[in-house]
Amino acid sequence: MLRATAATRRSTQASWLARSQRPPAVALSAHMLRRAAGVAAAGGAAAAAYGYAWAKREMGDDALQRILKFDKVALPAILEYKWEEAKCEKLPKVLPALFPPVSDEEERARFEALHRKWAKPIFDIYMELGGFYYKSGQKVASNMSGIAPKLWQEAFQPFLNDIPPREFGEVVKVIEGELGRPITDVFATFDEKPIGCASIGQAHRATLRTTGERVVVKVQNPDAERTFRGDVFALRVLIDAFMPQLSVAFDEIQRQFATEFDYRGECKNAMEVRANLQRAGFGNVIVPRVHESLCSKKLMVMEEIFPSIPLHTALDEQAEKMARQRGISKEAFIASEKARIESETNALAKQGKLVRQLTSNTYDKYIAAQRAKRGLLRAWKRAYNWTLGLLLPRYKLDDEEVLLP
């Protein structure tokens, strides 16, 4: 019994000693928090590194810088527009005491002020970044859909004719890389000043060394395709978040633009259209003859049609001519034509000869449903990539995905 008592005493002393050496609960909690914070920081750093590597691999070295530079201008503009829209339309309905109703005239005046404020900053950042922003700027300038404000349409006109050219040395490098020989072996003359610049390339006058024929050489910008994915990503995120009603139009622009990086397709289409028109007897429609042997992914050579007038210039001149015949301004003529077409379309719709026109509320519901569907699909893809995708082939996420695997 004495041995049992001694053993019990030693066990009690050991237990007391262990408790006395255990760190206090507060100190232990702080230690665990520090470890958790360290793990979280390491995980965040790893995720950031992975995201940066993904963006660099998929969208180019300067993709994140371009995205941040664009968002720095675009986000404040969009937020101010959305806030003004809420003050004019939504908040007066739910908080009339704080936000009294706004008349249509006052609402137009407020948005005109915003158009004046943001037209130049948005124009400047589009012009600075180039690439897909050039294409977007051209859509605003032409305003075929009638969505862009008139002030923006006028401010963005330089995107149609005055896009800054690339350095001539870069142009020569692309040409010689595509031809596999010096530029002087193919062209007797080559104008350094381009006759036109577009979103992904520019065109120069030249003469062929072998025949002396006057030709136009279309050269793709060397970094056009590289910057495309990042530019689309930046614009897609903003459109999905703030302007979902434009998502369908943006999808079409994106698909069309993505096919323009291989001039061989354009070369083939030009030859096919030219042959079809000639067989059909349309001699008054001219499609430039393409020199197929000199065409490649980033280079296209075709006969020069001289003199030539840009399509938008010809349409503008035609509108002015018809407006003068009616004794009205060009703007009034265009507005009357739009009203006439809309009236005729509505009349046909009432007769059941057109697809039923959707109300804005129905369209908003459709967009919301599509966004929800796409969100669920993205979530499923991410879950798969983080589980089975670690062993099996992974899903390739769309351009509009956030920086996650």
Q: For residue range 32-55, what is the model confidence (pLDDT) as tens digits?
A: 545 544 544 444 444 444 444 545
Separation between Cα atoms, residue 132 and residue 113, nearest integer Å: 27
pLDDT of 220 > 90? The answer is yes
Residue type for 48, please? A
The CA-CA-CA angle for residues 251, 299, 137, to 5°, reads 35
Global pTM value: 0.60
Separation between Cα atoms, residue 235 and residue 243, nearest integer Å: 10
pLDDT of 177 > 90? The answer is yes
pLDDT of 267 > 90? The answer is yes
Mean pLDDT of 123-129: 93
In sequence order, the β-bridge partners of residue 26 are: none
pLDDT of 346 > 50? The answer is yes
Q: Which long-range contacts (CB under 8 A, 24 or more apart) does 223-227 make?
A: 223/60, 223/131, 224/131, 224/199, 224/200, 224/261, 225/200, 225/261, 226/59, 226/60, 227/59, 227/60, 227/62, 227/63, 227/66, 227/129, 227/130, 227/131, 227/132
Residue 21 is predicted with a pLDDT of 52
Mean pLDDT of 127-142: 87
pLDDT of 399 > 50? The answer is no
Residue 3 is predicted with a pLDDT of 47
Residue 208 is predicted with a pLDDT of 98
pLDDT of 90 > 80? The answer is yes
CATH label, 168-221+262-308, candidates 1.10.10, 3.40.50, 3.30.200, 1.10.3470: 3.30.200
Angle between helices 330-350 and 311-326 (to 10 degrees): 90
8 confidence band (pLDDT: 50, 70, 90) = low
Strands, DSSP E only, in 20-139? none
Separation between Cα atoms, residue 147 and residue 143, nearest integer Å: 7
CATH 3.30.200 positions along the chain are 168-221+262-308
155 confidence band (pLDDT: 50, 70, 90) = very high
Q: Which of 35-39, 183-187, 315-319 has the highest mean pLDDT?
A: 183-187
Q: What is the pLDDT of residues 238-253, one digit of tens each?
A: 777 777 766 776 777 7
